[in-house]
Amino acid sequence: MKTLIKAKKGDITTLEVDAIVNAANSSLLGGGGVDGAIHRAAGKELYDFNKKLGGCPTGEAKISPGFKLPAKYIIHTVGPVWYGGNNDEDRLLADCYKNSLVLAEKNNIKSIAFPAISTGVYRFPPERAAEIAVKTVSGYLTKSDNFTEIIFICFDDGTYQIYLDAIKEI
């Protein structure tokens, strides 16, 4: 189970997996950070498709095709903004990972890559976020044998090291 979980350094838009996860905002219509990169790489069809999805509440997830991406699907989830930790941020972040996996499984997605949701513009402390990400995913895998590969894609060395440490703990 643990061998399915990997940390990798790189750009999520280049990955050849069944699905990549987007750290979106509740409009699902694009923004900065990883969301902006995914919308640019997928093309305008993504914006047009997502307009019909009607947004997404924090902690939940919606799916679109990957359009111009190598990935077949994009799972859009909305992470919590960090307000100090007393606003249900931990649970909402765990929900993003869990609901993304549930939606992936429903769509027969076997390989999936997650960015470090909420740790950029939304300011979630990165170590705490990585611990929640890794624990939620590994907990899910104890109940499901659907997945063949789960990648935590890290955009910088600092995030990569944090994930290597978090994966060691499971």
Asked about 11 being catalytic, the answer comes back as: no
**Which residues would be at the binding site for ligand AR6 (CB under 6 A)?**
11-13, 23-25, 31-35, 37, 79, 115-122, 153, 155-156, 159
State the CB neighbour count (10 A cutoff) for residue 150.
Answer: 23
**Nearest approach, Cβ of 84 to ligand AR6 (angstroms)?**
16
| Radius of gyration in angstroms for the set of CA atoms belonging to the chain, rounded to a whole number | 14
**Nearest approach, Cβ of 33 to ligand AR6 (angstroms)?**
2
Among residues 11, 18, 35, 156, the one annotated as catalytic is 35
> Any alpha helices (H) in the chain, and if so which ranges?
33-42, 44-51, 89-106, 126-141, 157-168
**Nearest approach, Cβ of 61 to ligand AR6 (angstroms)?**
13
Those residues with Cβ within 8 angstroms of residue 119's Cβ, 6 or more apart along the chain or in another chain: 125, 126, 129, 159
Catalytically active residues, by annotation: 35
